[in-house]
Amino acid sequence: MQARENYRFILSGGGTGGHIFPAVAIADALREKYKAEILFIGAEGRMEMDRVPEAGYPIIGLRMAGLQRKLDWKNLKLPFLLMIAVWKAVKTIREFKPHAVVGVGGYVSAPVMIAGVFTGVPVFIQEQNAFAGLTNKALGRFARRIYVAFDGMSRFFPASKLSLKGNPIRKELMKPLADRVQSLAHFGLAVDKPTLLVVGGSLGAPAINRAMGDAITGLSKTGIQVIWQTGKGGIDLAIQKTQELSGVVVKAFIREMPQAYASADVVVSRAGALACSEICAQHKTALLIPSPFVAEDHQTVNARNLEKHGAAVVLAESHLSKSFEKEVHRLLTDPELRQKLAHAATRLALPDAAVSIADDMIQTLQGNEQAHP
């Protein structure tokens, strides 16, 4: 498909890697395939303000906060923050003159999409989760197209606007699996021992860190190797728990995710939409531990969707202290179960989502231009 070379897009969303990485993947596809010019809008003080420039894109920060889902005086400030953020987003749109605004979720995308609607710029949405986020649900009726990763999303959005494309994942994870032997060597681990990868999301997961801290000595005694991403808040405890153990790699944040996935026989993970999509794309056996503290408990919905297809084992956070070590050991010592779960996960993978979304947006914009010359 050919496109003119001067398309411009504003992408907005963030707060967690689950929003940021899909947005960057879409931006990469638009820039690499269509030479599009990209501008991001994020929330001041959130991780997108670092991660997006690291990926090579400019970003503008808005002062914005999320809705507190219980009575909280901070909610009184939201209308004023929203009005100011919309005004700044309108100003940015008029200066940058994008052909489309793309919202990927997170509260900062709300004023940007509202500004897109107000200025008449086409709005697209990418919803990662099986339970749609508040911002996307509220603004879905204004979108040209809504790209989703799970079936059954017509309960949240107009069915005529839905397009099942999957979740865009980091391009380094779209490539063939990294070499396992070389990946294990990269982490200084042995090739003949079962390996567990533990990730609690880009910000870490205290409950998973506590469970790992309690289980790590016992797992290590059985010959299990561990690559453990703790998040900044969990690194000190993890180092303390593992300083006398061998075969354990502890990092606050793992940048070498292709090598980490290639090394792993089993992945312990939260059930954010991006994590689920990456696990499927990497053909991995997973023990999913949904966070119970996210909006509408959407991680549990994501995890149960994979479980329904036989693609993962799900363990509630409330059962960690009783069952975590036992479930990890069961998966690592049962190769037939691991193979069955990994094959089912592979069938759910949609690794070309970013390019597919980019193609569809360009095609939609070209159709709009032809209809309105």
Could you tell me the pLDDT band of residue 72, with boundaries at 50, 70 and 90? low
Mean pLDDT computed over 304-327: 96
Residue at token pair 């479930």? 327
Residues 150-167: pLDDT tens digits? 888 999 999 999 999 999
pLDDT of residue 81: 84
Q: Is the distance from CB of 297 to CB of 290 less than 8 angstroms?
A: yes
Each residue's pLDDT tens digit, 285-306: 999 999 998 877 889 999 999 9
Indicate whether 73 pLDDT > 70. Answer: no
User: Above 60 in pLDDT, residue 66?
Assistant: no
State residue 373's pLDDT score: 43
Q: Residues 261-272: pLDDT tens digits?
A: 999 999 999 998
pLDDT at 293: 86
Is pLDDT above 90 for 355? yes
How far apart CA 173 and CA 153 sit, in angstroms, is 26
For 99, half-sphere exposure in the C-beta direction (CA atoms, 13 angstrom radius) is 20
The domain over range 8-170+351-371 is classified in CATH as 3.40.50.300: no
For residues 56-68, average pLDDT? 80
Helix, strand, or coil (residue 264): coil
Given the structure tokens 């312990």, which residue do they identify?
A: 268
Q: Looking up tokens 């190769």, which residue turns up? A: 335
Same CATH fold assignment for domains 8-170+351-371 and 175-348: yes
**Residue 17: predicted pLDDT:** 74
- In this prediction, residue 18 has a pLDDT band, given cuts at 50, 70 and 90, of confident
The domain ranges of the chain are: 8-170+351-371, 175-348
Of the pLDDT bands very low, low, confident and very high (cuts 50, 70, 90), residue 176 is: low
Res 4 pLDDT > 60? no
Over the stretch 108-131, which tens digit does the pLDDT of each residue have? 899 999 999 999 999 999 999 888
Asked if 54 contacts 71 with a C-beta cutoff of 8 angstroms, the reply is: no
Query: By the 8 A CB rule, do 305 and 232 touch?
Result: no
For residues 171 and 169, give the distance between their C-alpha atoms in angstroms, rounded to a whole number: 6
What percent of the chain has pLDDT above 70? 92
Residues 207-223 have a mean pLDDT of: 95
pLDDT over 90 at 201, yes or no = no
Mean pLDDT, all residues of the chain: 90
Q: What CATH number does the domain located at 175-348 have?
A: 3.40.50.2000
